[in-house]
Amino acid sequence: MQTIEFSCPIIDRESINDQTVVLTLEAPVIAQTAYPGQFVNLASNQFLRRPIGIMNADSKKGSIQLGIRVSGEGTRFLAGQKKGDIVSLLGPLGRGFHLEGARRVITVGGGTGVFPLYFVQKVCQTRGLEGIAVCGYKSRKDSLLTDQYEALTCQTLFASETDDDMDFSGHAVAALADLLLKLKPVPETMILTCGPETMMASVAALAKKHGISCQVSLEERMACGIGVCLVCACKIKQGDEQESEYQRCCTEGPVFNAEVVEWQI
Amino acid sequence: MADLTVRVGNVQFANPVIAASGTFGFGREMRVFQDLSRIGGICSKGLTLLPRAGNATPRVAETASGMLNSVGLQNPGLQSFLANELSFMAALGCRIIINIAGNDHEEYLEMCRQLDATSIDAIELNLSCPNVREGCMLIGSNPQMIEKLVAAARQVTRKPLWAKLTPNVTSIADMARAAESGGADAVVLINTLLGMAIDRKLRRPLLRNNTGGLSGPAIKPIALRMVAETYRAIGIPIVGVGGIMDGNDVLEFMIAGAAAVEIGTASLVRPTACQDIIREIETIMELDGVSEVSQYTGTLALWNG
């Protein structure tokens, strides 16, 4: 039998800003098997668990990292956990990003979407793939993980919608458009994106225009996270002739090929 | 060694713990984490005659001690189930109950006919899903329609028939009596309570379906009261369901009158809830000095006067 539920001690807690923390948890089994784009489902003081994308996994240390932004009572509780506290989590869950066959990997993250994509760039570094990380924030004070991204071998492009003192002034999608015009094309390029749905839809459209394959990490309200309750349905295209069908964001996703996603915006 | 076996009509279960419809799929996902031959039974995701896409999202909203769902019976349809899932379920080694939901009377009967020739242990007539426009709760809130449907189903299948009842009625005991009159082998209660959650800023319901079914510990007191009331009204067995989270909850339902129980929402927050709960029951029985779990059923002594 496979163990799905783990009680994991928090071994480090770093405050990123007043709304966001990065928790490092001792989770050797999950650290061993998790790959970018997967998530864990954390118990809090609320009834349902909270699905959180895995930001980093270190199989040697047996630890994982999770970026948590406070958006309600459950995440407030989780973000308030201290070193030594134990949280129950299910994982690793879902289908993540597929990097097979890639030579260059461009990640486009919006807001907390930069967390799971950090894991992508970390793996790219390990595998010796060319990585380019586009990270978009509302403003400089909302920026997340800039130091951590800069410590990786990937090229970084930080975009702020309201400040002029980051790499790019404007939206992450505009930053990507600008980048794609300047970059010398490399075959086997992939664009991977995570963030608000409007942003991901625009990134997908831009990727298509440039003939670059694109994977998106969808978000739906979840309950079980393991594929039995069917609440996290997302509309997936089944080919030109057929109607779209609902698939489980937690099981068939959360990462899908952008081509098959029927955007809900 | 504690004797956990229970009977619901003619069907014997290794223990009183049955996974509730809609919280366990067809067992495929859950089998990875636990030995399903150890649990009493599995009730399938609700099946309809034709495939159903389900409702638009969001389909879930968290509430105090529970959740609302408005999945809307998303399922692959009976044909696909018979072709792709039934043999898998039949090999799991526990009792298999198939939950069916019709848009109308005739659809229920057609599904009963098709299931009659299979190896399943019982049919659960879903007379209670609150998230679809036709059938289900509309039938299940009218005693005449319940009796008529159960009686007609009785004519087309020899399988044990369980009527899963809705709490969204004035008197669930009346509905249970109607199911008994129609020839049901057992009643299952309660399905979810119809509820709503609101986003104050948007002034919109959180669920795209506007309303949904409330489940979880929030509804346990209501379910217990309804089981206790119904136990005094009918002679057929009751399968108790509604907010059960642990072994103690199971025994409370049995004391109120349940012969067996279904575990639903607990499995969504703790995938191994069913197997954990069975162990908890054994521990409590030892503490209580009870050797047969069926001895709990219907032992509630109400206060008089």
B61 reaches A (C-beta below 8 A): yes
Residue B43 is a catalytic residue: no
Compute and round to an integer the Cα radius of gyration of chain B: 18
CA distance A187 to A117: 21
Q: Report CB contact under 8 Å: A223, B34.
A: no
Tell me, yes or no, whether A127 and A232 share the same domain.
yes
Total number of domains in chain B: 1
**What CATH number corresponds to the domain at position A74?**
2.40.30.10
Residue of B nearest to A243 (CA): B53
Mean pLDDT of A102-110: 97
Domain span including residue A59:
5-93
What mean pLDDT value characterizes chain A?
95
CATH number of B263's domain? 3.20.20.70
User: What is the sign, positive or negative, of the torsion defined by CA atoms of B254, B17, B279, A9?
Assistant: negative
- Contact map slice: B 213-232 vs A, CB within 8 A: 216-217
* Mutation target among B34, B62, B209 for the A interface, most CBs of A within 10 A: B62
Model confidence over A206-231: pLDDT tens digits? 999 999 999 999 999 999 999 999 99
For range A151-164, the mean pLDDT: 93
The interface predicted TM-score (ipTM) is 0.94
The answer to whether residue B68 is domain-embedded is no
Profile chain B (305 residues) by mean pLDDT over runs of 10 residues: 94 98 97 95 97 96 97 97 97 97 94 97 94 83 95 97 97 98 98 97 97 98 98 98 98 98 98 97 97 98 89
Residue type, A121: Q
In this complex, which of B23, B59, B270 lies closest to A228 when CB atoms are compared? B23
Asked if A157 and A191 sit in the same domain, the reply is yes
Q: Which of B94, B112, B129, B274 is catalytic?
A: B129
Tell me: do A165 and A218 sit in the same domain: yes
The whole domain housing B24 covers 6-55+73-194+215-296
Q: Is residue B102 part of a domain?
A: yes
Distance (Å, whole) CA B106 – CA B124: 16
Beta carbons of A47 and B271 less than 8 Å apart: no
How many residues are given for chain A? 265
Total number of domains in chain A: 2
d(C-alpha A99, C-alpha A104), whole Å: 10
| Residues of A with Cβ-Cβ distance to B216 under 8 angstroms | 47
CB B93 within 8 A of CB B32: no
Round the CA-based radius of gyration of chain A to a whole number and report it. 18
DSSP codes of every residue in A97-160: ---TT-SEEEEEEEGGGHHHHHHHHHHHHHHT-EEEEEEEESSGGG--SHHHHHTSSSEEEEEE
Minimal Cβ distance to B71: which of A48, A49, A230? A230
The reply to whether B81 falls in a domain is yes
Is A265 inside any structural domain? no
Q: Are residues A57 and A128 in the same domain?
A: no
Residue A248's nearest CA partner among A230, A260, A261 is: A230
Does A240 have pLDDT greater than 80?
Answer: no
Residue of A nearest to B217 (CA): A47
Q: Is residue A183 part of a domain?
A: yes
List the single best residue of B42, B50, B52, B59 to mutate versus A (max A Cβ within 10 A): B59
Residue with tokens 């509820």: B195
Which residues, numbered 70 to 89 in chain B, qualify as contacts with chain A under a Cβ-Cβ cut-off of 8 Å? Answer: 71, 74
In chain A, the residue whose alpha carbon lies closest to the alpha carbon of B28 is A228
**Looking at the domain assignment, is residue B288 inside a domain?**
yes
- A224/B30 CB distance under 8 A: no
